[in-house]
Chain A
Amino acid sequence: MSVEFTLNGRPTSLQSPPESPLLWALRDEAQTVGVKFGCGAGLCGACTVIVDGQQTRSCVTPVADVAGKSVTTIEGLSGDVAKAVTEAWIRAQAPQCGYCQPGFVLAATSVISADPKQSSDQVLSQITNLCRCGTYDAIRLAVGYALTSLQGAENHEKGAAR
C-alpha cells in the first residue's frame, strides 16, 4: 500500500507504512534529509515541514495524514515569501550549528505566508521551534528583515529588536 501526495511540487508515492512517521519516510525513503530529527515527539520543530500551507511537525504526523496533500520541505521551498525569509536569514547570519534552522525557516515562511501584513511579534509568537545554540536574537532580526522586505516598510526591524 502506498501513500500518494505532492512533495515539493512533484507527485510522489511513498511505500512506508501509512502509520509510520512522515519524518522518517521523508528522510529515508524520499531522501529529503533537510527535514531533521530532533525529538520525535513534536516538541522541538526541527522536523517542521509545510503541509497545505500549515507548519507541521513531521515526526508526529503519520504518512497517511498527508495523502492527497502538498508537502514542502526545505529542499522545495520557493516563492516570494520563502525568498524573503531565506535572504533575511542569511543577512542576519542566523545559523550557528544550523541543525534546527531549516525548521525555523519553514515555520517562518508558513506563518508569514498566511498573512504577510502581520507584525514581527505576531509572527514570532507562532514560531515555537527550539534552538540549542540560542540563535534567538538573530532569528528575531531575520523575521524583521523578511517582513520589511515583503512589506516595504521600516517599522518591523525595530519591532524585531523588541
Chain B
Amino acid sequence: MSEGGSTLGRIARRSFLIGAGVVGGGVLVGAGVVAWRLGAIDGYELPASEGEASFGAWLKLARDGRVEVAVPHQDMGQGIYALAVMLAAEGLRLPLEAVRAIPAPIEARYANPVMLLDGLPFDEASHGALKQSVVWTFDKILRVLGMQGTGGSTSTRNISAQIRRAAFCMHDMLARAASARFKVPADQLRNVGGAFLTPDGRTATYAELASDAGKLKPNDIQPPPLARGAYVGRGAPRYDVPLKTYGEAKYGIDTRQPGQLYAAIRHAPRLGGRLDRAVIPAKILGVRGIVEGKDYVAVVAETYAAALAGLEKAEIVWDDSKASSVSTKDVFAAYRAALDKGMDFKPRWIVDSAGDVSKASGKEIAATYDAPFLAHATMEPMNATAFVTETEAKVWAGHQSASLVQLMVAKAANVPSDKVEVFTPFLGGGFGRRADLDYIAKAVEIAGRFKGTPVQTIWSRAEDIRDDVYRPAAMADISAKVDGDGMPSSFVYRIAVPSVTDQFVARALPSAKGGMMADRTTVDGALFPFYGLPTRSIENFTVDLGIPVGFWRSVGYSLNCHFVECFIDELAVAASTHPLDYRAKLLARAGSYEPAIRAARVLEQMAAFDKANPLSPGKDGAMAGRGYALTASFHSFVGEIADVEIVKGDLKVRRVHAVVDCGFAIDPPNVVAQVRSGINFGLTAALYGRVDFDNGKVVPANFDTYPLLSLEDAPNISVEIVNSGAALGGVGEIGTPAIAPAVANAVFAATGKRLRSLPLTFGTA
C-alpha cells in the first residue's frame, strides 16, 4: 500500500480526517467486513477490491481514505467529473479534496435514459397521461438496454440527483453509526472534515465508522431540494483545471503503451469512394506496414512522423465508381424542390400543429432561411489507440459512450463484449463528434493487423475535417399572417433537412430500424413554440443526399432557433415594435403556458440589461447595431443580446449578454463558462462556418479554410443566471442556439440588411 503517489493524495491525507483511519497506509476498514447494503437501493454495487468499501452504485471508500464517486459520463470540457465531486462532497459533508471521480463501469445501471427521453415528441409543458405512460415505458426499456452516453446536455440531469441521494444515504448511515457509538442523538453530531464530533468533543472518522455503518439497514434518504450550500449554488474550483494548466491531463492522443506503433490515415477523397490499392514503393525508415481499408489507407510506423512520411510517399489508387458527385448547390436545390412541391410532395412528418393555418387571415409575411453544413473541429483531432489479440481488445480513446465503444470494438476486433476493455482519458473536445465511433472502429481494424501490438491511429486535421459527420445544412420557409397590430394569427414552418438520428442509428446500430418516430432534432427549436401562436404548423421534409450528418453542439436547435428568432425579428420590424416588446406581447398571448412564463422572465432580465446598457455608437464610421434572440433548448431558457459593428463590410461582434434559466445553477461559475463556450462556438458558425462539397469532395481542410473564432475577435460575454427553480435543464449546449440570430438581428439593426443565409457575410450580398 503506497503512500498515495500523487501530490493531491498527500494533500488530501493531511487536510481531512477521513485519512486518520489510514494506519500505515492500510485502510482500517477490513476487506469484506463491510457489507454495504446501499447496493440494495442502488440496484448495483461498485466493484471493490481489497481494502475498499463499496457504498452502492455511486460511492466507494478507497484504500487511501478518499471517497470515490463513479461517473458514467465523459468529461469533454463540460466539467461533469468536477460536478460529481462537488455533489458527493457536499452530501457527505467532506472537503473537495476528500473526494475523487472515477469512471463508472460499463453496466446497465449507468444508463443515460435522459438523452433519449428528450427526443420523444412531447410538449415540455404537457403532463398528460399519454406522455407520462410513454415516458415511463421508454425509461424502463432504456434502463434495461443500459446505454451509457454523454450528449444532449444531460450529464448533470442524469446523475446529479442519484449522486446526491447516494451521498445523503451514506452520510445517514455513518451518522447513525456515530450516534450509536457515542449514544448521542444524530442531530447533535457535527461534521468536521470527514469525522463526526460530539458536543463533548469525542470524534470518529468516517473510515472508523464504516464497519458499524455497514451493518445498518440503509434508509432511502431523499435529499432536500437543491439550494445554496457549501459548494452547491456557489461553485468550487475544478480539480481538472490545474492538471490541464500544467499539461498533466492526458488525452486519448497522449496514450503511450509499451511497444506502441503509430498510424497515419487517409480517406477516399470523395464521399462513397473506395480504396482500390495502395503500396509504398520504397523502404522508409521506421515504417512497419500499410493497411488497406475499405475507404481508407493507413501507414503504420514506429513514430507518427514516419507514418506521415510513408503516407506521403504511398501510391494510392482510389476506386471512384461508387463515389458521390454531390456539391453544395445540389443539396440546396434538392431542399428547394422538396419545399416547393408543397402538398404534392408528402412531407414526411407534420410534427406539431394547432388550429387551422389555412383559415387564418391577414397580411402574409414570408421568408426563406438557410444554413450550411458544419464540421466539429475538436482541438484534439480524432484518434484512438487499440490493442487487439485473438481473444481480447483494449482501446484508449475519447468518446461519448462507453457502451457503444464496447459494442463497436467487440465487433471490429471479433471478440466478445466482455473481453473489451475501454479506457477513457480526457476528451480534447466532443461537441457530438465523438458520439460517432467510426474512428475507433477503424483504429481497432488497423491494430487488428498488428495483433499483440498497440497501435495509435491519428487523423490529420484535414482528415478530421473531411471524415466528419456534419451539422446538416438546412433550408426553411417560414410564413405568418399578421393582424392589424402586426401580431401573427398563423405560423407556418417548413424545414428541409436530413435526419441526424436516422443516420446515426444506421451507423451505430445497423440492425436497429430507424424512422420509427419523427426525428425530433430536425425541428427542435421550432417545435412547441413558447410564443402564443393561435394557429401553427411545423413540417419536416427529410431530404438526404448522402452527406454524413451527425450531432453537433445543440443539434437541431442550432438551425431552428436561428430561423425562428430571425423571423420573429422580421415580424417585429414589420409591426414597428421593439423586438423585446414584440416578444413580450407574443409571450403574453401564451397565457399560463409554463415555457412562456419562464421565457418571459428571461425576457424581463434582457429588457433590464438593455435599458441599463445602451448600445455604444460605432467608432470611426462603423455602423453599430444590437440584436436579440430568445430560445429554449434542453429544458433551459436563454436570451442573448449581441452588439455588433460593421466596418467596411467586416462584421465584428463587440459584446454579448446572456440571460440563462437552467432551473438551478449547481455550479454557477461553470454555467457561465459553459454558456460563454456555447456562444463562442456558435459565433464561429455564425461568422465563418461552412463546409462545402464539390463533386463529392469536402472543400475545407484546415483552420485556414475552416476558420475558428480567434481571441482577438471573441467578444466580451457577460452571463446572468436566473434560478427559476424549475427542474434542472441542460447547460453545455444552451449558449449556442441564440447567438447566430442575435447577431443576424443586430446586423439588420445596424445596416437594414437582412442576412438570411449563414454564415453572415456581406461579401456577395
Chain A interface (Cβ < 8 Å from any Cβ of B):
16-17, 20-21, 24-25, 27-29, 31, 33-34, 36-41, 43-44, 46, 73-75, 77, 86, 89-90, 93-102, 105, 124-125, 127-140, 161-162
B240 A98 Cβ-Cβ under 8 A? yes
A98 B249 Cβ-Cβ under 8 A? yes
In the bound assembly, the distance between CA atoms of A100 and B237 in angstroms comes to 19
Q: Could you name 28 residue pairs across A and B whose Cβ atoms are closer than 8 Å?
A: A17-B285, A24-B304, A33-B250, A33-B254, A36-B253, A37-B458, A38-B380, A38-B381, A39-B702, A40-B702, A74-B246, A90-B237, A95-B241, A96-B674, A97-B76, A97-B428, A97-B430, A98-B77, A99-B380, A99-B428, A99-B429, A100-B379, A101-B245, A129-B711, A130-B710, A133-B77, A135-B677, A136-B709
A28 B676 Cβ-Cβ under 8 A? no
Q: Could you say which of B379, B678, B680 contacts A136, with CB atoms under 8 Å apart?
A: B680
B716 A162 Cβ-Cβ under 8 A? yes
Q: Give the 4 A-B CB pairs with smallest separation, nearest first.
A: A134-B680, A98-B244, A34-B247, A74-B247
In the bound assembly, the distance between CA atoms of A29 and B286 in angstroms comes to 13
Q: Given that A29-B303, A40-B460 are contacting pairs, would A134 and B676 also be in contact in the complex, using a CB cutoff of 8 Å?
A: yes
Please count how many residues in chain B sit with their CB below 8 Å of the partner chain's CB atoms: 65
- Which residues from chain A contact B238 at a C-beta distance below 8 Å? 93
Min Cβ gap A74→B in Å is 3
B714 A136 Cβ-Cβ under 8 A? yes
In the bound assembly, the distance between CA atoms of A20 and B249 in angstroms comes to 26
Residues in B335-368 with C-beta less than 8 Å from chain A: none
Interface 1/0 per residue, B674-717 and A, CB below 8 Å:
10111111011000000000000000001110001111101011
- Which residues from chain B contact A96 at a C-beta distance below 8 Å? 77-79, 673-674, 677
Let me know if B427 is at the binding interface, CB within 8 A.
yes
Min Cβ gap B394→A in Å is 19
Let me know if B256 is at the binding interface, CB within 8 A.
yes
Q: Could you say which of A77, A90, A127 contacts B241, with CB atoms under 8 Å apart?
A: A90
A125 B712 Cβ-Cβ under 8 A? yes
B242 A97 Cβ-Cβ under 8 A? no
Q: Could you say which of B305, B427, B704 contacts A97, with CB atoms under 8 Å apart?
A: B427
Let me know if B37 is at the binding interface, CB within 8 A.
no
Min Cβ gap B624→A in Å is 16
Min Cβ gap A75→B in Å is 6
Report the nearest B residue to A142, measured CB to CB: B245
Q: Given that A29-B303, A161-B716 are contacting pairs, would A37 and B262 also be in contact in the complex, using a CB cutoff of 8 Å?
A: no
Min Cβ gap A40→B in Å is 6
Let me know if B761 is at the binding interface, CB within 8 A.
no
Residues in B123-170 with C-beta less than 8 Å from chain A: none
In the bound assembly, the distance between CA atoms of A127 and B714 in angstroms comes to 13
- Which residues from chain A contact B248 at a C-beta distance below 8 Å? 34
Let me know if B724 is at the binding interface, CB within 8 A.
no
- Which residues from chain B contact A29 at a C-beta distance below 8 Å? 303
- Which residues from chain B contact A17 at a C-beta distance below 8 Å? 285, 305
- Which residues from chain A contact B679 at a C-beta distance below 8 Å? 134
A99 B680 Cβ-Cβ under 8 A? no
- Which residues from chain A contact B670 at a C-beta distance below 8 Å? 93
Let me know if B251 is at the binding interface, CB within 8 A.
yes
A134 B380 Cβ-Cβ under 8 A? no
Q: Given that A17-B285, A90-B241 are contacting pairs, would A41 and B305 also be in contact in the complex, using a CB cutoff of 8 Å?
A: no
- Which residues from chain A contact B237 at a C-beta distance below 8 Å? 90, 93
B77 A136 Cβ-Cβ under 8 A? no
B379 A28 Cβ-Cβ under 8 A? no
